[in-house]
Amino acid sequence: MILNFLLVGIGGGIGALSRYVIDKYISSKVKHHIPFGTLGVNLIGLFLIGFFYSVFEHHIVSENLKHFIVVGFLGALTTFSSYAYGTLILFEKKKIKEAIYNILLNNILGMVVAFLGAVVGKYI
């Protein structure tokens, strides 16, 4: 049990730092009202979640590795709270169209890339 806590914590730390770096990089390249940094981080994470889900379904993998990758790293990499916060700010600034686009992009593209990740993972 203690090992799982450590693995989730270490994975979470790596995931959170990765989220920060990727978000800042994308945000510096794409200047827009829609928080594309958060969208990019979530799409990368959701692809990886789909990928690892499929890999873990077809291969024997230790529970420790699953906890490290899925709960720790990918749990911290993806960010529902930042997505909700960014959307809330858009609504508060009366950028209704951008807020709706943000909701649609995150949810629709998120499911598409998770599915694609699962398809790719099936062939590993």
3-state secondary structure the chain: CHHHHHHHHHHHHHHHHHHHHHHHHHHHHCCCCCCHHHHHHHHHHHHHHHHHHHHHHHCCCCHHHHHHHHHHHHHHHCCHHHHHHHHHHHHHCCCHHHHHHHHHHHHHHHHHHHHHHHHHHHCC
Give me the chain's average pLDDT, please: 96
* Confidence category of residue 25, pLDDT binned at 50, 70, 90: very high
* pLDDT score recorded for residue 1: 84
pLDDT tens sequence across 50-105: 999 999 999 999 999 999 999 999 999 998 999 999 999 999 999 999 999 999 99
Domain limits, the chain: 2-122
